[in-house]
Amino acid sequence: MTSLDNRIRVYRAEHRMSQADLAEKIGVTRKTISTIEVGRFVPSTVIALKIAKYFGAPVEDIFQLQDDDTPTVDDS
Amino acid sequence: MSAKQSPAQTLEKFMQRTAIGTFLLAVSYTIGTAEYLVSEDLAETLNILQKPLGLLVILLVAPAVWSMARIGAFKARPGCDEPESFVKEMLARASTLSFSITFVALLALQVLSGKFYTDQPPAFFIGIALMVSLYVFSISFFVLSRDTEEDDDFGDDDLGEGAA
């Protein structure tokens, strides 16, 4: 089953930020950040892009699909 | 919590208060439905107990509605800048679950109303259906949106560990 892993916790640690700090910066609540981090809540594209933009990182560096066998256009 | 709430926090608080208000309404419907089954004296006592619950719901939800209005959440272009949130999604899930179970409860009541409590008025069975609906919505919302995680300040547990 495909799941969405993320490295928000790592990025927060690098920038010495709490969940509440990050939540405030991107306009969500701490609970939303907390549940994204542990995989209970899959964020919208908007939230994912906001987080990536805030950390100045490509979104795929922060969010990765695990066990995903979706073919690419090159495979077909 | 900081002195000034963000729009996202205001929205979350509004949803939580709405769920608490819904639970109190469910209790109110339980009392109202029980009135049909007890003696007249006890029914009068229950009726007295039921009234403050309505007032409590208003006192609980009204300040949250006012806070939502202050951030412009009811305008065409809401001031709340949270595109979505965990709590909002759990509210939607609780609503869906509540709808499904209410539907099943209505089907069950349709069958049972012809066999049990046949002397009761339709209001009794409508009260049961509403009670089920409100309890399922509020309790499932609290269960789904419970937060066991504490803020870990700077996330300095283990830099090498990916989340999830």
Q: Which domains does chain A have, with CATH numbers?
A: 3-56 (1.10.260.40)
- Inter-chain touch A28–B156, beta carbons under 8 Å: no
Q: Note the pLDDT of residue B65.
A: 86
Say how far apart CA A33 and CA B117 lie, in whole Å: 50
Say how far apart CA B43 and CA B36 lie, in whole Å: 7
Higher pLDDT, A57 or B113: A57
How many structural domains compose chain B?
1
B114 within some domain: yes
**A-proximal residues of B, 22-81, CB under 8 Å:** 81
Say which of B87, B153, B160 has its CB closest to residue A18: B153
B84 within some domain: yes
Residue with tokens 């595109």, as numbered in its chain: B83
Q: Note the pLDDT of residue B77.
A: 57
Please report which confidence band the pLDDT of residue B1 belongs to, taking 50, 70 and 90 as the band edges: very low
- Inter-chain touch B8–A32, beta carbons under 8 Å: yes
B153 within some domain: no
Q: Among A57-66, B58-67, B132-141, B145-154, whose mean pLDDT is lowest?
A: B145-154
Min distance B92 CA to chain A CA atoms (Å): 13
B149 within some domain: no
Average pLDDT, chain B: 83
Contact A34, B73 (CB under 8 A): no
Task: Report whether pLDDT(B154) > 80.
Answer: no
Task: Report whether pLDDT(B76) > 70.
Answer: no
Residues of chain A contacting B92 with CB distance shorter than 8 Å:
none
- Inter-chain touch A27–B162, beta carbons under 8 Å: no
Cα B108 to its chain centre, rounded Å, is: 23
Residues of chain A contacting B9 with CB distance shorter than 8 Å:
29
Q: What percent of chain B has a predicted confidence (pLDDT) above 70?
A: 82
A5 phi and psi angles, rounded to 5 deg: -90, 160
- Model confidence, pTM: 0.81
Say which of A13, A30, A36 has its CB closest to residue B154: A13
- Inter-chain touch A35–B147, beta carbons under 8 Å: yes
A14: CB partners within 8 A, 6+ apart: B159
Q: Note the pLDDT of residue A73.
A: 86
**CB of B8 within 8 Å of any CB in chain A?**
yes
Could you list the residue range(s) of the whole structural domain that residue B28 is in?
A: 7-144
Report mean pLDDT in 10-residue bins for chain A, 76 residues: 89 93 91 92 92 96 88 81
Strand partners of residue A3: A66
B152 within some domain: no
ipTM strictly over 0.90? no
Say which of A20, A27, A44 has its CB closest to residue B81: A27
- Inter-chain touch B6–A8, beta carbons under 8 Å: no
Say which of B83, B152, B164 has its CB closest to residue A6: B164
Name the most confidently modeled range: A6-10, B10-14, B115-119.
A6-10
